[in-house]
């Protein structure tokens, strides 16, 4: 049995910050941000009531409603995030409690922007083994709390949000997937962000915000994502044009157009929300999938190719039948 997505949901914080707004609090401009990234605005949590958990639960409830599944029917909850509210309990366990999903096993996956794909692949593997039948997968981030707001080269890129899907074990759905990691590249996108309470080790005062070598990440993305896509297509014997939509991690519109060019495909096959949402890391692919689904663009039998890359370094792709 494979993972078939039967419902989607998403949640964005109420407040959005435009590039023009950011240019009032730092030395930047709409012209610079939009021309280099395609981003015009991003949603940011703006009160203590909006947390990683609340965004995740709202997205989850929308996905459950769309799927017609009750929380008690879930036997697995996976949350992909690098910005959980607590170290423990996991966000997945907190979601389980909030939903009352009393029969589900729940845990988090840390694979940064590839996290949703890693979680989807994990669910598919559980389904193939027969261990579970009904899963909730959430990608959620409140990166705004770990970003260095004095580093204009990173803080303008990211946004907060959550996307969720409900997957059911089925004869059809996931066709093939691929994923990988290269820890030797970990330094180019890194967030230490932990105070050390060990009595023998000085903690220092560095808050450990997210830092990034943007050009190296860019080069990695435009090489790795097309490689992933090509190898997945080769594995399945499909042509690039057989895919209805490519739902890529929304990091930068220039990365998306470069990938479309490399694959010699029209940009219309690459829906994008990066202009409105910025880079929401693990949440970006499920938010985009929810939008495309709710806009009525998907028909039964459509072939979707999801692919992403991120810190770790990590990358992945999944080809599935809608
Ligand atoms: O999920 C994965 C997350 N990461 C990514 O996907 C990041 C991939 N990389 C990128 O998207 C691009 O590398 C960036 C958008 C981050 C940067 O674009 P770039 O064309 O690589 O710019 P750069 O870093 O080479 O900076 C060019 C100039 C610099 O000024 P000088 O040294 O040429 O005078 C920067 O100081 O742009 C300046 N700059 C800015 N100017 C206005 C950097 N950030 C800003 C800013 N506003 N926000």
**Annotated active-site positions, please?**
113, 249, 279
How far is ligand 1, taken at its centre, from the CA of residue 304, in Å? 31
- Give me the mean pLDDT over the 146-152 stretch: 94
Question: Could you tell me which residues are beta bridge partners of residue 316?
Answer: 179, 308
285: Cβ below 6 Å to ligand 1? no
Do you know the residue count of the chain? 322
Read out DSSP for 1-16?
A: -EEEEEEEEEE--S-E
Residue in 214, 217, 253, 256 to alter for ligand 1 test, most ligand atoms within 8 A of Cβ = 214
Cβ within 8 Å of residue 217, ≥6 positions away: 188, 189, 251
Q: Which residue CA neighbors atom 6 of ligand 1 most closely?
A: 251
Assign 182 to helix, strand or coil: coil
32: Cβ below 6 Å to ligand 1? yes
| Percentage of residues in the chain having pLDDT higher than 70 | 99
Residue 205 has what pLDDT?
A: 67
pLDDT digits 0-9 by tens, 50-79: 999 999 999 999 999 999 999 999 999 999
35: Cβ below 6 Å to ligand 1? no
- Give me the mean pLDDT over the 163-175 stretch: 97
pLDDT digits 0-9 by tens, 254-306: 999 999 999 999 999 999 999 999 999 999 999 999 999 999 999 999 999 99
34: Cβ below 6 Å to ligand 1? no
pLDDT digits 0-9 by tens, 15-25: 999 999 999 99
Cβ within 8 Å of residue 55, ≥6 positions away: 11, 12, 13, 45, 140, 142, 160, 161, 162, 283
Confidence of residue 162 (pLDDT cuts 50, 70, 90): very high
Residue 68 has what pLDDT?
A: 98
Per-residue CA distances from 119 to 17, 57, 107, 192 (Å): 29, 17, 10, 23
31: Cβ below 6 Å to ligand 1? no
Q: Is the pLDDT of residue 155 over 80?
A: yes
pTM of the model: 0.96
| Percentage of residues in the chain having pLDDT higher than 90 | 95
């Amino acid at each position: 049995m494979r993972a078939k997505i039967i419902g989607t949901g998403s949640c964005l914080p109420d407040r959005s910050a435009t590039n023009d707004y950011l240019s009032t609090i730092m030395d930047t401009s709409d012209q610079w941000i939009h021309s280099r990234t395609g981003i015009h605005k991003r949603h940011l949590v703006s009160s203590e009531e909006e947390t990683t958990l609340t965004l995740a639960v709202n997205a989850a409830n929308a996905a459950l409603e769309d799927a017609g599944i009750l929380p008690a029917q879930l036997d697995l909850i996976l949350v992909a995030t690098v910005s959980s509210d607590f170290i423990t309990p996991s966000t997945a366990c907190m979601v389980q409690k909030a939903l009352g999903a009393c029969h589900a096993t729940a845990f988090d996956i840390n694979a940064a922007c590839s996290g949703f794909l890693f979680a989807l692949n994990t669910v598919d593997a559980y389904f193939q083994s027969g261990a579970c039948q009904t899963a909730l997968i959430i990608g959620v981030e409140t990166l705004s709390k770990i970003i260095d707001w004095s580093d204009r080269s990173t803080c303008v890129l990211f946004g907060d949000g959550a996307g969720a899907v409900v997957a059911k074990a089925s004869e059809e759905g996931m066709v093939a997937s691929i994923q990988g990691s290269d820890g030797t590249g970990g330094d180019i996108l890194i967030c230490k962000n932990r105070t050390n309470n060990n009595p023998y080790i000085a903690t220092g005062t560095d808050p450990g915000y997210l830092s990034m070598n943007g050009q190296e990440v860019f080069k990695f993305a435009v090489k790795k994502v097309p490689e992933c896509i090509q190898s997945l297509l080769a594995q399945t014997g499909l042509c690039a044009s057989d895919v209805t939509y490519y739902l890529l991690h929304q990091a930068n519109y220039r990365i998306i157009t470069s990938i479309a060019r490399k694959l010699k495909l029209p940009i219309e096959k690459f829906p994008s929300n990066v202009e409105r949402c910025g880079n929401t890391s693990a949440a970006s692919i499920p938010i985009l999938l929810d939008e495309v689904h709710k806009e009525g663009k998907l028909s039964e039998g459509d072939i979707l190719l999801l692919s992403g890359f991120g810190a770790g370094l990590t990358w992945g792709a999944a080809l599935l039948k809608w």
